[in-house]
Amino acid sequence: MAAEASPRPHSDLERDVLEAFWAYERALKANDVDALDEAFSAGESALRSDGTTVTVGASEIARMRRVRAVIPRRAVTSVHVVPSSADGALVMASLRSPQGMRGTQTQLWERRDDRWRVVAAHVTSTQAPFDRSVWRVLGAPLVAGASEGECAGLRVAVKDLFAVAGMTIGAGIPERAALAPRESAHAWAVDRLLAAGADVTGIAQTDQFAYGLAGQNGRFGTPLNVAQPDRVPGGSTSGGATAVALGWADLALGTDTAGSLRVPAAYQRLWGIRTTHGMVPRDGVLPLAPSFDAVGALARDVDTLQRAIRELNPSASRQAPGGWMTVPALTRLADDDARSLVNQIARHTGARECEWGIDLDAAFTAFRTVQAAEAWHAHGAWITDHPGVLSDDVAERFALASTVADADAHRAYAVIDEVRATLRDQLGDRILVLPTTSTQPPPLDASDEEMNAHRARTLRLNCIASLAGLPAVALPVGHDGTSVCLVGPAGSDLALLEVAGDLHASFSGQGES
């Protein structure tokens, strides 16, 4: 935890200060204010900040502790020690609230007369900030759900494409949020979750019009990738993914046209599901490309997703699919790590390698053509009426979309019909295992070329389920949380989640394997 000149020269000091640190944590848990006073320096130079206000002097600090005492429900998830002298050390601890919110506590400890005392402390509480890159609107809650039900207690981040009664749909664009009409009713999916007892915590940010996979939003800002802070968070269900990863929400309700749930799940090591196309009503959801748009969700664990999908798609089948398959042409689109993971899973499940008779490039081109044509059909008029409001990358995408000729779109639809039939036929009642994304998420400062290359390969992987209209579950596997994707037969949403849960357990060493 601290080593600079020679290897761990301060280990005695570290051990001693950590002993004092943990005693302090126990006193905090018990709200033993006398012990806390005792552990704090009695000096008038003692400092304490709650992040907002600095309190100076032991007596003031003791008084604050008494009047504002709240027993902090938090766990210490990691501790770092930096020695400051032969009798002193700084201890920095990562905190986690029961709901998963993160904080940090820094203390400077000093030993005098063989007693350790805190001479300065700074806590960033595990209270969630209002982060405009994550939320457009946040409430306490924004909409309360039914008092009981299968989803009672779930805090839902609703992607800003779903109608929330009384609010506008902003779709990641401030002007749209300001100017769109207020919705008179909740989207079907929102209503369903509320009826099952979930609360809508807030409206979460998205790539503009959901036309992106990186999660970067030039207007509201780019949410943090919690798992890999120097990389893009993934989108378009971007704000919801970060809210879930940080514990600010339990479930992100989102949409997936070409990976908008699977990609942020992969980038942030979450669970994500795109439901069978057309099975979850899209009433009250702003479309991007209706031929592919599907409702779905993200969560930190499979149980939460199962609770949500039982409500959103109650007629989905729970019957286990009939076997496993991989497609080398798809597996090869990913880097070594993901490839080897898919191969490991294939061995574990006895998956059959199948080379299917599909021209992936032609299918992908048809997909992008129809997606673009439908996106322009849905939003072209508004975009034309509101010049200058889109971020450059999204504006470019729509500019290209505006040029799709009707004849090209018609041809693309024909290709898609055929590809869909072939895909469904080849899959049968099996599960297809493939990498969720081609690589780890690109760094935030990746060049446009890198970003586009990554996007093209990842879209090729994701468009399979979109083209076939099939359900897909992205799950983190193994010790590093690399994501794999399972695509199942139409209507197998719940069965897929079940299987994914078992697979995860096996590969985390918790199952029979």
Q: Strand, coil or helix: what is 273? A: strand
Give, for 156, the enclosing helix (H) or strand (E).
strand 155-159
Amino acid identity at 263:
V
Question: How far, in Å, CA of 313 to CA of 139, rounded?
Answer: 27
Q: State which of residues 98, 129, 322, 428 lies at the interface with a second copy (CB under 8 A).
A: 129
Residues 380 to 419: which contact a second copy by CB under 8 A? none
When the beta carbons of 24 and 376 are compared against a second copy, the nearer one is: 24
Residue pair 478/305 in contact by the 8 Å Cβ criterion? no
Whether the Cβ atoms of residue 68 and residue 59 lie closer than 8 Å to each other: no
Angstrom distance (rounded) from CA 238 to CA 109? 40
Q: Which of 19, 31, 130, 362 binds a second copy (CB under 8 A)?
A: 130
Q: How far apart are CA 421 and CA 235, in angstroms?
A: 28
384 exposure class (CB count in 10 Å sphere: 0-12, 13-18, 19+) = exposed
Q: Using the rule CB under 8 A, which residue among 6, 12, 85, 392 binds a second copy?
A: 85
Interaction residues for a second copy, span 309-348 (CB under 8 A): none
Rounded to the nearest whole angstrom, what is the least distance from the CB of residue 455 to a second copy in the complex? 18
Q: Which is nearer to a second copy, 94 or 344 (CB)?
A: 94
User: Which is nearer to a second copy, 445 or 449 (by Cβ)?
Assistant: 445
State whether residue 98 is helix, strand or coil: coil
Beta strands per DSSP E along 354-456: 431-435
Binding mask 221-240 for a second copy (x = CB under 8 A): ---x-x--xx----------
Q: How many CA atoms lie within 13 A of 260 on its CB side?
A: 32
Tell me: does residue 92 bind a second copy (CB under 8 A). Answer: yes
CB nearer to a second copy: give 264 or 296. Answer: 264
CA dihedral defined by 118, 122, 128, 129, rounded to 10 degrees? 170
Q: Output 200 or 373, the one with its CB closest to a second copy.
A: 200
Asked if 261 touches a second copy (CB under 8 A), the answer is no
| Binder among 18, 82, 152, 505 for a second copy (CB under 8 A) | 82
Segments in 183-301 forming alpha helices (H): 188-195, 238-245, 262-267
Q: Which of residues 164-193 bind a second copy (CB under 8 A)?
A: 165-167, 174, 177-178, 182
Taking the complex as a whole, how short is the minimal distance between the CB of residue 179 and a second copy, in angstroms? 8
Residue 344, Cβ density class (10 Å: 0-12 exposed, 13-18 middle, ≥19 buried) = middle
Cα angle at 217 between 216 and 222, to 5 degrees? 60
90 binds a second copy (CB under 8 A): yes
Pick between residue 13 and residue 475 the one whose CB is nearest to a second copy: 13
**Binding a second copy by CB under 8 A: which of 13, 20, 28, 138?**
138
Nearer to a second copy, 230 or 355 (CB): 230
Question: How do beta strands 251-256 and 155-159 pair?
Answer: parallel
Phi, psi of 472 (to 5 degrees): -145, 135
x/- site string to a second copy, residues 345 to 374, per CB under 8 A?
------------------------------
Q: How many residues bind a second copy (CB under 8 A)?
A: 73
**Interacting residues with a second copy between 94 and 123 (CB under 8 A):** 94, 102-104, 106, 108, 110, 119-120, 122
Q: Are 126 and 102 in contact (CB under 8 A)?
A: yes
For residue 187, the minimal CB distance to a second copy (Å) is 15
256 Ramachandran zone, left/alpha/beta (phi>0; psi -120 to 50): beta
DSSP state of 511: S
Which phi and psi angles does 347 have, rounded to 5°?
-65, -45
Q: How far is the CB of 504 from a second copy (least distance, A)?
A: 25
Q: Quick one: which segment of 54-62, 269-277, 295-303, 482-490 binds a second copy (CB under 8 A)?
A: 54-62
Residue 132 contacts a second copy per CB under 8 A: yes
Q: Which is nearer to a second copy, 240 or 435 (CB)?
A: 240
| Residue whose CB is less far from a second copy, 124 or 343 | 124
The interface region with a second copy, picked from 52-60, 334-342, 362-370, 487-495 by CB under 8 A, is: 52-60
